Structure 1
Amino acid sequence: MMDPRMRGLQALIRLRKTEVDEAKSALAKAMAEENAAVAYRDRQHALIESEQREAAAGRTSMDDFRQWLPAGRAAVERAERAILPLRQASDQARGVLMQANAALKAAQAIVDKRLEEEKEIRERREQAEIDDLSRRNTPAST
């Protein structure tokens, strides 16, 4: 049977594991949003390069490209600005996960220490019983 302190510690471990799972989920979501924003920015940048190649190859006019280029650059800049807060959110989510992992590790260390203490107590009791039985079964010297 588990004592109340150990039951409380086990409940704390379950809570900490839930926090770690939630932090992992939040980090995955933040990373996905950041990665999507980076991919969008890269697509906008690739579009500029593609349009530039089209104009250089003569498939579109250079005037059309020059007129379109400011809009293309503006799209890249907007995409670039959108990445910063998403990167900060990912960093924050990473920090929350690290804190949740540290809290879980600390709680587990307390449980491990408590289990080790209980094991040592059991071993001392067993040794005391063995010593007691040994003393009883040893004939008294005269």
Structure 2
Amino acid sequence: MNSRTRALRSLIRLHKTKVDQAKAIMAEALAREHAARGQVESNQAAIETERLEATSGHASLDDFRQWLPYGQEAVERARSALHVAGRASDQARETLMQANADLKAATSILDRRVEEEKEIRNRRELAEIDDLSRRVRMASG
């Protein structure tokens, strides 16, 4: 194996590390996005629960009207956090896609290089066999 092939193998190991890191970051980003989505749903459910309590007579409508802006504000904050988390997930996805593309490109180059080295070895072997055949013919002829 020559120095170019060793360098390509090192590059591939580096790209595999980057892919692994990108996968970990992606998993974290998706977990944060999932948690943010859950918070939005929880806050929306709280508004609905409070509304049902007020309309069923278990709580006063005035209390609900006073609380509602806080509930809506909590929903908006949660939606904002979800938006930020979604952007982070999108960025992590792009980073992972690029890391995978880089790995694939380096692997493809290495595969071509290994194939070229194999062809060179095969040609040398055939040349040696041809040379031996000529020597045998010349010696016996």
TM-score, normalising length from structure 1? 0.89
What is the aligned residue count?
A: 139
Which structure 2 segments of 5+ residues have no match? none
- RMSD (Å) for aligned C-alpha atoms: 1.5
- State the distance in 2 between where 1:47 and 1:130 align: 83
Can you list the C-alpha shifts for 1:7-61, whole angstroms capped at 9, x where unaligned?
1111111111111111111111111111111110110001111111122222112
SS in 2 for 1:64: helix
Q: How does 1:5-44 map to 2 (within 5 A)?
A: 5-44=4-43
Instruction: Give me the whole-angstrom Cα distance separating, in 2, the residues matched to 1:41 and 1:81.
Output: 9
Specify the code of the residue in structure 2 equivalent to 1:47.
A
Other-structure match for 2:104: 105
Question: 2: CA distance between counterparts of 1:102 and 1:52?
Answer: 51
**Alignment of 1:61 onto 2:60:** yes
Q: CA deviation at 1:133?
A: 3.5
1:123-138 equivalence runs, <5 A: 123-138=122-137
- More deviation in 74-83 or 119-128? 119-128
What is the CA–CA distance in structure 2 between the aligned matches of 1:94 and 1:67, rounded to whole Å? 42
Could you say what secondary structure the match of 2:59 adopts?
coil
Q: Which residue of 2 aligns with 1:115?
A: 114
Which ranges of structure 1 fall in alignment gaps of 5 or more residues? none
Q: Which consecutive segments of 4 or more residues in structure 1 shift more than 6 A? A: none
The 10-residue stretch of structure 1 (102-111 or 126-135) with the greater mean CA deviation from structure 2: 126-135
Residue 47 of structure 2 aligns with which residue? 48
SS in 2 for 1:60: coil
